[in-house]
Amino acid sequence: MNNQIASTIAASYPKIEEFRGKTVLVKYGGAAMEVESTRHLVCQEVAALSSLGVKIVVVHGGGKEISRMMERVGLIPHFIDGLRVTDPEAMKITEMVLSGTINSDLVSRITRSGAHALGLSGRDARLIEAIRLKGRNGEDLGQTGEVTSTNTAPILAALEGGFVPVISPVGETVEGEPLNLNADYAAAAIAGALGVEGCVFLTDVAGVKKDGEVQPCLSRGQIDHFISDGTITGGMIPKVQCALRALEAGCARAIICEASRPLIISSALTGSEASGTTISK
């Protein structure tokens, strides 16, 4: 099956050959992870791209699954301005779900699709160093953090060994305290540190929309204007902000697109029509 998908990619998107030997990052999370068929499609395409010689890194989220597990053990998820308040008990569940359940599932799916996937936590080899994050008005968010630095050595070692690194967004402080990270921001930091050729943010919508139409390309100026006039709202705001962060940190291009579309990663990387919104400098 993997050979068939790889052959279809090579035939349908011949420009994908330009990415052979180059590194790309795929951020996968949110509602796009909730549909079984979509998760299957994404993992199959990741494996196929790896077989075509693309060095592909996956950073995943899992907020909805964390909330479900918290509710299962009698804890109530709490958010301030969209940011999870992570007390010690919530942190234990967060790390268990992200670095355990979800990471293992994605690694298994990609491996069964024909690639050699390797699960990594942001705490492995100090991959992601972070500090505690405060709310917009100084609120205590507990063990919710923001990235301060990334160690690309374990990722590069995995890629050189022919593995697909699958990274959970759990970082730690200099003192070793685990911190829950927003997966979009973790992906942007890692993409920038690696200087990837492309950073693909997979979501549950077709891209950034204005008046119901997907915008194929956006600049920083347009994004700032669309946020101020209410065109870009909610969860799309951190997506576009993280895309810009990745570009500023060294990523060549960033694309926001819909995970459920077959071969969307290949389509987005090669700039094919109707492949989401490309963010440019």
Task: Give me the pLDDT at residue 75, please.
Answer: 94
pLDDT band for position 137 (cuts 50, 70, 90): confident
Mean pLDDT within 191-195: 94
Mean pLDDT within 75-94: 91
Task: Give me the pLDDT at residue 201, please.
Answer: 95
**Distance between CA atoms of 271 and 278, rounded to whole angstroms?**
8
Taking 90 as the threshold, does the pLDDT of residue 234 lie above it? Answer: no
Query: How do residues 31-41 score in pLDDT, each as one tens digit?
Result: 899 999 999 99
Mean pLDDT within 212-235: 89
Taking 70 as the threshold, does the pLDDT of residue 146 lie above it? Answer: yes
Task: Give me the pLDDT at residue 250, please.
Answer: 85
Taking 90 as the threshold, does the pLDDT of residue 110 lie above it? Answer: yes
Nearest to 183 by CA among 126, 102, 71, 263: 102
pLDDT band for position 235 (cuts 50, 70, 90): confident
Q: Quickly count: other Cβ atoms within 10 Å of residue 170's Cβ.
A: 28
Q: Quickly count: other Cβ atoms within 10 Å of residue 193's Cβ.
A: 20
Mean pLDDT within 121-145: 94
Mean pLDDT within 139-166: 96
Nearest to 28 by CA among 212, 218, 186: 186
CB 281 within 8 A of CB 247: yes
Task: Give me the pLDDT at residue 44, please.
Answer: 97
Task: Give me the pLDDT at residue 162, please.
Answer: 96
pLDDT band for position 116 (cuts 50, 70, 90): very high
Mean pLDDT within 203-225: 91
Task: Give me the pLDDT at residue 239, please.
Answer: 86
Taking 90 as the threshold, does the pLDDT of residue 83 lie above it? Answer: no
Mean pLDDT within 53-63: 96
Mean pLDDT within 197-223: 92
Mean pLDDT within 59-83: 92
CB 134 within 8 A of CB 85: no
Taken in order of first residue, the domains within the chain and their CATH numbers are 2-279 (3.40.1160.10)
Percent of the chain with pLDDT over 90: 80
Task: Give me the pLDDT at residue 1, please.
Answer: 61
Strand pairing category for 83-84 and 79-80: antiparallel
Mean pLDDT of the chain: 93
Q: Which of 100-109, 196-205, 232-241 has the least mean pLDDT?
A: 232-241
pTM: 0.95
Taking 90 as the threshold, does the pLDDT of residue 76 lie above it? Answer: yes
Task: Give me the pLDDT at residue 275, please.
Answer: 87
Strand pairing category for 254-258 and 128-134: unpaired
